[in-house]
A and B are shown apart, each in its own frame.
Chain A
């Protein structure tokens, strides 16, 4: 398919199998909600098929001008959201180290006080009338994305008696095939709550957890305006099939 080639996934082979041990464990008693919600039986492993190798594409026409500006995209009168202004930026790549261009990236987060704009969040911290907490963008031809937002606050949550989430931003990425779908969280360099968080600790490989911690990036910070944090995201890649016989029509 020409469309696939144009979008940089010209190998068009099966998806590289997921390295499940590099992901969080599904069942972790320290994260209590995972106990009744984690499958007990092994997953059924199989080579990907067209159902996983294709996926929805979203065009830049989807986006409004403020979609990636969480400081202003919920403002009623142009007043900015309250909080430390930050630029969150990075690239979306695949396991073959190639950029993933033109793919949708969505984020959501708490406000500067650690409160979500959600009916189920009744934390003491107040809502900010000018902050909704969601944004989206589409990567450019080199896989780059950026959001202007405020640093989310840490907040307590009901798990063990005194658990607090570190500052974090949720990120959802599509890639070009449904089997690449990924939701994760970005943490902030230097936050002491990361090492105390049972959700972060569902990732047992420390080097993998470190990959979710965004470094302060002063080269991209704007003097007298915002700090910057860099967060690159790697999605599953597709296997090269140069020496494999391909069946008619595949």
Chain B
């Protein structure tokens, strides 16, 4: 026998299920009035510095069907690459947003400011990106990924550099559809499967 470690093991995940909206975005789920407003309605307040952008997309399963019941959370820094709470961060950028697939179309929309580059522990710089977490019925542990932008320099990003199969890098890069407008689909499985992160 040996001494026991003083560490604990993380509680196991379980699926968020089909009714995650009740708990996380009750007004969206048709339970108005429990809270004054749903948490994470917008990652920015009026006056946020930087370019306001809108990202639209869908979460698509292995059959090609867009999920109608997915919920997502995003987390990002401000236009200068500073996260809320860090010294000098833009007070109008909370950085956190919660949003869901539309129950009819499956489309989601995230309106935010384009994030700035963020330092990496190695001393390098990460290209501008938004962290994304996806939960839904049938997803047993939340899926983490990132949204990068095709009109930014992604060539030296340390995470993208680790993707061995280079065509898969494209799954993390939002496509510009108009000025300030981007498209980003998340493919859970099958052709073009999104790169999900263990990070």
Contacts and interface: CB of A to CB of B under 8 A. Distances in A.
Contacts of A95: 7-10
A234 B9 contact: yes
A75 to B, nearest CB: 11
How many A residues touch the partner, as a band? 35 or more
A170 B20 contact: yes
Contacts, number: 270
A45 interface: yes
B181 to A, nearest CB: 23
B140 A24 contact: yes
Given A108-B23, A118-B29, A132-B34, A49 B141 contact: no
A44 B23 contact: no
A74 B11 contact: no
A246 to B, nearest CB: 9
A212 B138 contact: no
A157 to B, nearest CB: 9
B140 A74 contact: no
Interface string A32-73: 011111111101111111111011111000101001000001
A14 interface: yes
Most chain-A Cβ atoms within 10 A of its Cβ — which of B8, B21, B36, B197? Answer: B8
A153 interface: no
A19 interface: yes
A183 B135 contact: yes
How many B residues touch the partner, as a band? 35 or more
Interface in A16-39: 17-20, 22-26, 28, 31, 33-39
Contact of B142 (A35, A107, A181): A181
Most chain-A Cβ atoms within 10 A of its Cβ — which of B29, B103, B123, B136? Answer: B29
Contacts of B151: none
B50 interface: no
B190 interface: yes
A54 B85 contact: yes
A228 interface: no
Contact of B198 (A17, A97, A234): A17
B139 A34 contact: yes
Nearest to A48: B199
13 contacts: A18-B10, A23-B12, A37-B137, A47-B199, A49-B120, A108-B22, A170-B23, A172-B24, A178-B73, A183-B135, A202-B140, A232-B11, A247-B121
Given A39-B196, A236-B10, 7 more contacts: A23-B141, A26-B141, A37-B137, A44-B197, A46-B162, A49-B159, A132-B34
